[in-house]
Amino acid sequence: MIEAKAAPHAWRRFAIWFVAVFGGGIGSIYAALVVIDPYDTGRFPTFMKPGVIDSGQRTSNASHGRDPRFDAAVIGNSRGQMLDPAKLSQATGLSFVQLTTPAAGAQEQMTMLRYFMAHHRRIDALILSVDERWCGHDPALPIILPFPFWLYRGNLEYLAHLLSTRALTFSARRIKMELGAAAADDARGYQDYETGHYRNFRPRAQRPPHKPVVAPLDTPFPAFDLLDPVLAELPQTKVVFLMSPVYQDWLDDLDPQMVADLPRCKAEFARRAASRPHTAFLDYFAEGPFSRDSENFMDTQHFRLRVARILEAKIVEALNQMR
């Protein structure tokens, strides 16, 4: 009977110790993550040197975007990824960083821009790579691929999402980097998706059937509601809006409503470029010499290095004319 009565107490003590050990272990891991700073956000004191080993722009941009060496940025999605920040820097005398994120729309891009602004007192130039998604009418501004907004916003939101297997993996990489066992990625964030990659691009042999003509919608483009307040906070910053070229197949496959709304949407960018000092709008999102030559593209929406060099020259020309 005595042993039977003692059994519940023994189990209770075991449960308490188990919870204490488990909780202590989790707490220790969490504290280590805060100190190691797996994404190199610089939010809290750390013994780690700056830099990350991370090919995913969604997370690596947290490190690149806070780097104080840069006073200019390329922001957008993968259509702007091939713009080389080193070449732009050399040609302009500025210091560019690449902060594009694959599949990013207006919400993600403005979140990235505000993160860059939060870490840089002075921003001399911005290249904003925009596309047809800026010309939609859905106020929700749909997100194509998940984006870690928590990584680029307040500390509490960051801490609430920090404990994860991804953070543990990146912490291990940061430790290897600190020990000299691995080199940090390019601080400028540049990733070339052509060199060393296989190009398997087969354009259509014939253009699709003619699509119906629809009337443009007389409704707002909600993405500009995110853009305008940011521009107002950067009155001295040079800004280039760039609509990159895509292959003709992509243009032919656009929804008829998007085709109808594009001219007014482009006019919104052009109006801001005309009314705001030190601003330009470069529009290559149209049928023309770029779109008709399949050799200009890796696939229907991503241009190759040969086009990147031309666009970089046009951007440099626009920036230099803003003096």
pLDDT tens profile 166-177:
999 999 999 999
Mean pLDDT is lowest, of 12-16, 104-108, 135-139, 283-287, for 12-16
Range 276-300 average pLDDT: 96
Task: State the pLDDT at residue 46.
Answer: 87
Read off the pLDDT band of 106 (50, 70, 90): very high
Residue 301 has pLDDT above 50, yes or no: yes
pLDDT in tens, 46-97: 888 999 999 899 999 999 999 999 999 999 999 999 999 999 999 999 999 9
- State the pTM of this model: 0.91
Range 313-322 average pLDDT: 96
**305 Cβ contact partners less than 8 Å away, ≥ 6 residues apart:** 82, 192, 194, 195
CB 101 within 8 A of CB 181: no
Task: State the pLDDT at residue 22.
Answer: 46
CA distance 178 to 175: 5
CA distance 39 to 30: 14
Residue 114 has pLDDT above 70, yes or no: yes
Read off the pLDDT band of 214 (50, 70, 90): very high
Angle at 233 between CA 138 and CA 115, to 5 degrees: 70
How much of the chain, in percent, has pLDDT values that exceed 90?
Answer: 81
Range 235-258 average pLDDT: 96
Task: State the pLDDT at residue 29.
Answer: 82
**114 Cβ contact partners less than 8 Å away, ≥ 6 residues apart:** 152, 230
Phi, psi torsion values for 150, nearest 5 degrees: -60, -25
Range 296-321 average pLDDT: 97
Its CATH architecture, for the domain 53-152+185-320, is: 3-Layer(aba) Sandwich (3.40)
Task: State the pLDDT at residue 16.
Answer: 59
CA distance 291 to 314: 17
Mean pLDDT is lowest, of 31-35, 52-56, 259-263, 266-270, for 31-35
Residue 27 has pLDDT above 70, yes or no: no
Residue 15 has pLDDT above 70, yes or no: no
Pairing of strands 238-243, 125-130: parallel
Residue 6 has pLDDT above 80, yes or no: no
Mean pLDDT is lowest, of 21-25, 30-34, 205-209, 253-257, for 21-25
Read off the pLDDT band of 200 (50, 70, 90): confident
Residue 2 has pLDDT above 70, yes or no: no
Mean pLDDT of the chain: 92
| Residue-range domain boundaries for the chain | 53-152+185-320
Task: State the pLDDT at residue 97.
Answer: 98
Read off the pLDDT band of 1 (50, 70, 90): very low
Task: State the pLDDT at residue 32.
Answer: 85
Range 266-292 average pLDDT: 97
Query: Which own/partner pairs from 24-32 qualify as long-range (CB within 8 Å, at least 24 positions apart)?
Result: 26/163, 29/163, 29/168, 30/162, 30/163, 32/171
Residue 21 has pLDDT above 60, yes or no: no
